[in-house]
Structure 1
């Protein structure tokens, strides 16, 4: 199986490298892991990216934020149904609708009614038309001031509407409740228990030499994004090795304490269509029976210079990770193809 896994990971990396400056692909099947890189980190040295190359993972940060919520909820430090307002500084005005307040679960499942973006975010930058970091202005003061002037598009809990603002506010609120900053919260609650030493918001000097350079669609180098206090929506950097540890915990349950939080995160389920739903922080769907009816739980991400994907099947104990250092070239398609191939092969294997 290991040889076949390595071949499939290599083929997917090579396929992605046709549209990305550099990529890393990881394939996980039970206890076997194969990680393959292709292309270039885009740095002066121009090395092929590998297991320990750091990438911006964008919205793949959101499952970390939601798992931190589940961790605090399991410990009794916060409640899924607790109002967002209870975790923010006293006097913060939080919008409601029809008498319904925004809860932490609403934020983690994109059912808060909040808009996709904070007030004042530069839409041209999000569309890749400028070099600006569209979230650089998102300090806590700016976010909470804008929140007070935000109208909800739906009654909280009633409708799925993907929201970077909601995920960022969740990270900000959880850090405030824990008396720390977002990065320290994620390190303490998730990364340290799993031995993930390279999943960070701020890259120090020791790690800087292992960072991939981000690129715009046509291969132009672009500066990194820093999401300020909207960090919970997409500020993490990580490596394929660390993300393998993260998905293995999703497949195996993780260490005591974290295992309870993982179970809780997947117990919560909000339907988005007859075939798809969201858990805390994760998207999920089941393929059509003609495609094998396989379960796929996943999240993707993108920043000004990077694309990312993490997907897994807890029923068959399979996972795929793909990281690329080019924006506007999603890694999702080939990554989903690889996950589906692994699922089909597992289903057809003799028992």
Structure 2
């Protein structure tokens, strides 16, 4: 398992009192129900006793409905530095040091909180003001980490991501997996077997100044296809840079287009339209994302703490076409109506075009 573990799976905080956050994103897509559930966990300034110290669990549920629960006590958070494993809870029914506990004991021991690993995700949160609630428990069989099937997973941002020069760090933990279990949303239960699952994480001082994100591993008639794409204006040491990347897993092969090794272009509206094109030495890829849904805002870590600075939907329409380098032969043509589409950061007042 350690040899197959995705880079950066472990917790990055090492006791510093400097501004720090780490966040994890798990998603399950239910094609038969036409819905998705995205679980977002975060911890900020874990040294404690700071204005932003604390954690949160957020869920983007059916029809982009939103639920959030904060966990102010950083001492009830735990994460492994060696592998993907994290816990945060409040109001435990039994005194306990935060740690991964047997799943069959979790709901009896913890009234609100979560525990998650590379192969499991479980939790329960509720909003006392509205009465809305969510409970979940599912196991995951990873299929793709980040890279070719059967080979050691790669760092999403390359070898340099192991150096503390980028802000923030980012890693796709599982581009595609199979989830089996259940999710209960406001009393309605969703049971599923081998549902498409995804996981990623980020860490550092704050999110990028501006970014967009495109993701799907639930395509019509293409069960062995997963795509993640991103564009960001981020901090590098003492300067800022614009970067982009597209990663495509298809039939055991990994196709990567990065702004360092490929020609990337994008045109992303403040909301509703995501267009991206990439060309490398062998392939040409076109992405077109559209959302008729208004989406919903979720909280992300900033210098000012956890604030609503990100707009998301899991009901985006995404078209993908990959051709050979000359554009003469179509190698892949796929479509999804349950894609994740996102914009975030500084106010989007006009369309973002790159390059200008």
TM-score, normalised to structure 1, is 0.27
Higher RCO (CA 8 Å, separation ≥ 6 residues) = 1
TM-score of the superposed pair, with normalisation by structure 2: 0.27
